[in-house]
Structure 1
Amino acid sequence: MRWDRQRVGGEGEQAIPGLGGLVRSVTSPEFAGVTFHEVRARSVLNKVPGSSAVPFSWTVNPYRGCSHACTYCLAGDTEVLMADGDLKPLAEIEVGDEVFGTRAHQGHRRGAPTRVLAHWVTVKRAYRVVLENGAELIASGDHRFLTERGWRHVTADRPGPAARPHLAAGEQLVGISLYTTELPARLGVMRVEDLGREIPMYDLTTGTGDFIANGVVSHNCFARNSHTYLDFDAGKDFDTQVVVKVNAPEVLAAQLRKPSWTREHVAMGTNTDPYQRAEGRYRLMPGIISALADSGTPFSILTKGTVLTRDLPLLSSVSTEVPVGLSVSIALLDRELQQRLEPGTPSPQARLELVRRIRDAGLPCGVLVAPILPGLTDSDEALDSLLAEIAAAGATSVTAIALHLRPGAREWFARWLAVEHPGLVPLYRELYGRGSYAKPVYRKQLSARFARLMRRHGLDSNVFRTSTVEPAEPAGALPVQRRDSPAPVQEPLFPL
């Protein structure tokens, strides 16, 4: 979907993906703890920005999770203005509650009722924002409040002029009267204090993209980057809030019939897995596959979901009409580690069996070994065992990618590593420092070792990628990968 069409008044505040076409939000005993937000999308064929380094230009994602890096932002006792005028602690808000947000009206913001679509909790470092009227706000450094100059984070993300917009003494926050729908209040910031400790933090996703916290307009939570480059489950927020574009096959077919469509390669599974658990219920992929094939559009699918087995007869049939690339993501064999990193996904053995079934159907199948984790899955023994199983399953190619930690994913992974494997923190601090990518010397050494092991097992040794760009699918699925995008400059991942 076109994210800019989800903004209010062009001011930059996104709504939940697909909210404009929301049909209903449903739960099912079959998917305990998961809410499906069913939407009617206006577009499902997505153009990849030209600045992106991925080796394809178009994607289709019939499913989306709530994704953004500023999740879990306010203390639980923060008072939220409800639609009926009452106040309720943030920690006690529930999905389905009606609260006050804001909407653009004739160039100005006005208070407006809105529905709570999701609610999260975690632990983050706390900061106190002290206002001139004596009020206080306890929030994480990532949280944003509305000021006269636009949205501002509580704290900077780095020193110097390159820092993100953030609160400072004298900044005027925009407040709302508890008794009208106007936004008359201007609340000056006196100071922002680091409390020096972590506390439980809460946040919401609302229909308007914001809510009123302690009388101040507070930015909505949009969760972490969905199915990040880590190829991990991105956390409870992603796993329990699934946006389903229920009309995806019909919309895609209409878009592909346009005279302007030039039948470029379409990649699926590059952001969210098209064969995640929800596909077993919604069955969107058969229609999507048929639409692509009927239009003569080549396509590829990257998945770790065994639901793909259901569509093998269809995929085998359309492969005679258009080029089809299939690949399965298998990062490791250790079942215990896999369950901690990828909860809710099929086991490595189930994915290896999927490779076998794809090959038995007469289709080529690549395997994406990603991410390779320094100190956890990068030993010769671990890689050799994995490649032996991949070769035995009949994979036609292998692509490997060293761990990439882009913003959103890196914060999550740093916390996970500190809890699960604290002894590895110094190694990661050394390898990643301020960047998203491991040091070139590590990637070069890993590439050489991996190529040697692939030759041992008779696998294609020309597809290893110690990628400095986005992950690509295994050879044969996509064009040659671009390598012209520099890594972004970031703050230290594991600060001293």
Structure 2
Amino acid sequence: MRWSGQELTTEQAGALPGLARLNNLVRSVRTPEFAGITFHEILAKSALNRVPGQSAMPFGWTINPYRGCSHACAYCLSPETLILMADGRQKPLWEVRVGDAIMGTETVGAYRRYVQTTVLASWDTRKRGYRVTLADGTELVASGDHRFLTERGWKYVTRAMRGDGQRPYLTDNNKLMGFGLVGPAIDRKLSIAGAAVKSAALLQVVSVEDLETTMDMIDITTGTGDFIANGVISHNCFARNTHTYLDLDAGKDFDNEIIVKVNVAEVLRKELARPAWERNAVALGTNTDPYQRAEGRYRLMPGVIAALADSGTPLSILTKGTLIRRDLDLLVEASTLVPVDLALSIAIYDDELQSAVEPGTPSTAARLATVTAIRERGLRCSVFMMPILPFLTDTRAHLDDALRQAKAAGASDVMYTALHLRPGVRDWFMQWLARDHPDLVPRYHELYGRSAYAPKGYRQWLALRIKPLIRAHGLEHGIEDPVTGGVRSRALARPVPAVPAFPGQPEPGPRLLIAGELPPELHPTLF
């Protein structure tokens, strides 16, 4: 794809040194329909990515045509903000460097504790400033998108600048977590490593003042995903440092500079033609959705699909997008040459809940219609009910209705797994939960207090509930899929002693012995 009249000069594009040094930057492009985003078209040197041998993923190879994300948030603070270093000193943010040891926090057992962490990335930006004043006199100057930890979870400084404002934000009397900066704290070293996050300081929010000016700000990425700013726990942007592999800035570039491998299909064909290639199954959608919005303009997937099929390589595609319908003719043709495994991720079948948990994604109805379109072309299509949310979407009524809708849409089978709260996703989800379902927060802390995974007891209980429903709706399909190797839904009808209801769920579990669920790692993007 070429966007006529939108090409930028090197100076306009920002002169990205990493891309230029590798001599693979074709051009940089901006277009009105992607306001504020620059697409950097590169000539990739490789297309196939090998999954590390120690990974639990049930596939060995992936392809990612795009790098970067246009939906990332910006978390920024005033350069004068004091950061707590690992040695107990406090430095202004502008003095903090990549590699410095500082203090962050992590949950250990039932408590959040102060721990040492490392600065992984740092970047400058300019944002509209807001002053947050606390009852003890502590002041913090930050962007509206910055987040601080409160007694009710992470909250943004302000409501959303655009849209309907549906995100948790600071209000009067919210109490921030930390120790504050007023008094002797700034005059001596603070030795708090290992201590629980508790404080008698008066850290209630007194006011959030719009400074009505754009100002220089700095943000950092740390190993724990947070740091101590002016004596309170401050969120940072996680995973942005992945964009530095080509000398790209880890801040605004991650949001606005999207790398597009325009030659991915041509490179892929060469790799698949090598005598050493064993035609192992290749999975798409394991890292970035191959049918993200930009694919509508770049059209990289048709070439990828054709290359795989022509070489005799089985392929699987997992997507939340409906754009896959554009390529159904090609996928039908490919299926005559190699196994083609398609799946739509459809986790929530309550419209209001789906809109709250998955804002910006196609609706459940649109994705179910895509399943129908795929099946009408004679292709199999799985539905990934991932993740199932404890105490929200795990009721018998919700599961039964979800499976009924999937069956009516023509789904070949259903895979499922319980919610997996990865770092970053965990923070976002717990904020949402505290806002919309505060009564469930203690239950979630109990379930996920020690691990990103739901405990074994809950997963066994969920299996006992959902497997008979899957079978009753005719959506089971054996234990192992020939393309991905993933565990499919299947129940073994062998009576076993009754299982007590999981705490918080009064209904008793059915009397069936259940085969294992799909590993959580198979579904890379939960929201």
Q: TM-score when scaled to structure 2?
A: 0.60
- CA deviation vs aligned residue, 1:333-365 (integer Å, no higher than 9, x gap): 222222222222211111111111111111111
Residue in 2 that maps onto 1:123:
none
SS at match of 1:446: helix
- Residues 373-412 of structure 1 aligned to structure 2 (within 5 Å): 373-412=389-428
Structure 1 residues 389 and 295: CA distance shift in structure 2, 3 A: same
Match status 1:128 vs 2:83: yes
Residue in 1 that maps onto 2:496:
none
Structure 1 residues 481 and 164: CA distance shift in structure 2, 3 A: farther
Residue in 2 that maps onto 1:78:
79
C-alpha distance in 2 between matches for 1:425 and 1:254: 51
How many angstroms does 1:50 deviate by? 0.9
Residue in 2 that maps onto 1:372:
388
Residue in 1 that maps onto 2:271:
255
Aligned letter for 2:62?
Answer: T
Residue in 2 that maps onto 1:122:
none
How many angstroms does 1:29 deviate by? 2.4
Structure 1 residues 304 and 388: CA distance shift in structure 2, 3 A: same
Structure 1 residues 246 and 461: CA distance shift in structure 2, 3 A: closer
Residue in 1 that maps onto 2:328:
312
Percent of aligned pairs sharing the same letter: 51
C-alpha distance in 1 between matches for 2:362 and 2:354: 9
Structure 1 residues 273 and 296: CA distance shift in structure 2, 3 A: same
- Residues 187-266 of structure 1 aligned to structure 2 (within 5 Å): 203=219, 223=239, 242-266=258-282
- Residues 61-460 of structure 1 aligned to structure 2 (within 5 Å): 61-66=64-69, 74-75=76-77, 77-78=78-79, 128-129=83-84, 136-138=91-93, 145-146=97-98, 150-155=99-104, 157=106, 165-166=117-118, 203=219, 223=239, 242-460=258-476
How many angstroms does 1:202 deviate by? 5.2
Of the candidates 37, 44, 47, which is equivalent to residue 44 of structure 1? 47
Contact preservation (8 Å) 1:18, 1:243? no
Residue in 1 that maps onto 2:125:
none
Contact preservation (8 Å) 2:86, 2:116? no
C-alpha distance in 1 between matches for 2:287 and 2:476: 26
- CA deviation vs aligned residue, 1:243-266 (integer Å, no higher than 9, x gap): 322221111112112222111110
C-alpha distance in 2 between matches for 1:72 and 1:307: 28
Contact preservation (8 Å) 1:17, 1:66? no
Match status 1:28 vs 2:31: yes
Residue in 1 that maps onto 2:158:
none
- CA deviation vs aligned residue, 1:181-214 (integer Å, no higher than 9, x gap): xxxxxxxx96589996899985389xxxxxxxxx
- CA deviation vs aligned residue, 1:201-243 (integer Å, no higher than 9, x gap): 85389xxxxxxxxxxxxxx9664699xxxxxxxxx99776643
How many angstroms does 1:481 deviate by? 5.0
Residue in 2 that maps onto 1:116:
none
Aligned letter for 2:419?
Answer: L
Return 37-46 or 256-265, whichever deviates more.
37-46
C-alpha distance in 1 between matches for 2:105 and 2:318: 37
Residue in 1 that maps onto 2:485:
479
Contiguous gaps of at least 5 residues in structure 2: 1-16, 123-187, 211-216, 222-235, 243-251, 489-515, 522-527
How many angstroms does 1:422 deviate by? 1.9
C-alpha distance in 1 between matches for 2:466 and 2:74: 39
Contact preservation (8 Å) 2:372, 2:409? yes
Contact preservation (8 Å) 1:273, 1:303? yes
C-alpha distance in 2 between matches for 1:157 and 1:144: 21
- CA deviation vs aligned residue, 1:256-304 (integer Å, no higher than 9, x gap): 1222211111000111110111111110000001111121111100111
SS at match of 1:286: helix
Aligned letter for 2:410?
Answer: G
Match status 1:53 vs 2:8: no
How many angstroms does 1:157 deviate by? 4.2
Structure 1 residues 26 and 314: CA distance shift in structure 2, 3 A: same
How many angstroms does 1:480 deviate by? 4.4
C-alpha distance in 2 between matches for 1:412 and 1:423: 17
C-alpha distance in 2 between matches for 1:67 and 1:127: 30
Residue in 2 that maps onto 1:88:
none
C-alpha distance in 2 between matches for 1:135 and 1:383: 51
Q: How many residues align?
A: 366
Q: TM-score when scaled to structure 1?
A: 0.63
C-alpha distance in 1 between matches for 2:332 and 2:18: 36
Contact preservation (8 Å) 1:328, 1:351? yes
Contiguous gaps of at least 5 residues in structure 1: 1-14, 80-125, 168-173, 175-188, 206-219, 227-235, 464-473, 489-496
Return 411-420 or 277-286, whichever deviates more.
411-420
How many angstroms does 1:477 deviate by? 4.0
Structure 1 residues 17 and 224: CA distance shift in structure 2, 3 A: farther
Contact preservation (8 Å) 1:223, 1:238? no
Residue in 2 that maps onto 1:8:
none
Aligned letter for 1:137?
Answer: P
Structure 1 residues 279 and 145: CA distance shift in structure 2, 3 A: same
Contact preservation (8 Å) 2:70, 2:256? no
Contact preservation (8 Å) 2:86, 2:102? no
Aligned letter for 2:279?
Answer: R
- Structure showing greater radius of gyration is 2
- CA deviation vs aligned residue, 1:71-130 (integer Å, no higher than 9, x gap): 86652x217xxxxxxxxxxxxxxxxxxxxxxxxxxxxxxxxxxxxxxxxxxxxxx86347
